[in-house]
Amino acid sequence: MTLSDQTKSKLSKAVLSLIASGALAGPIAHQFLKEREGLRNNAYQDAGGVWTICYGHTGDVKPGDHKDDAQCSELLTQDIDKADAIVTALVHVPMSEPRRAAVISFCAYNLGPGKCETSTFLKKLNAGDNAGVCQEIQRWIKDGGKDCRIKSNKCYGQVDRRDMEAELCAM
């Protein structure tokens, strides 16, 4: 990636710096997810009504839960480790570290293993359809049935996230 490519990127300088330094997928995904999920120390219900805390952590969250920043960072690390294990189980082709980070974010962390396992995205990835798999990410732009390309639906951040995941995927 050249400097002129970086100026066109939607990815943050921190993520691009990790990629340029040859970082593994885990640290790339960690930085990316911190930026895209945002930190919320108190439990809240996401757009789908799922109780969530910290950097998008779900599962064992209940109303009234609170975590400090260090606990949230540890939960993110644990969640990425779980997501990486899911990616290892589902993906049967070699990937670059940025692509692996994209798959961790998109497939395992955001969609979940059930939706990912049956997705056209995963079929294209395992078939070696390098261009098609990255384009497939950008098709997932609905939240609770709402088209996130419509700004009044208040989920446009998902469109940006998909663009960034597709960019990571293409690297």
Q: Which residues pair with 52 in a beta bridge?
A: 44
Long-range contacts of 52-58 (CB under 8 A, 24+ apart): 55/79, 56/109
CA-based torsion, 63, 70, 40, 8: positive or negative: negative
Tokens of 146: 């709402």
Please identify which of the residues 5, 46, 68, 81 carries the catalytic annotation.
46
Please identify which of the residues 37, 79, 136, 167 carries the catalytic annotation.
37
Tokens of 79: 């969640």
Whether 46 sits among the annotated catalytic residues: the reply is yes
Whether 65 sits among the annotated catalytic residues: the reply is no
Gap between the Cα atoms of 167 and 161, Å rounded? 10
Q: Which residues are catalytic?
A: 37, 46
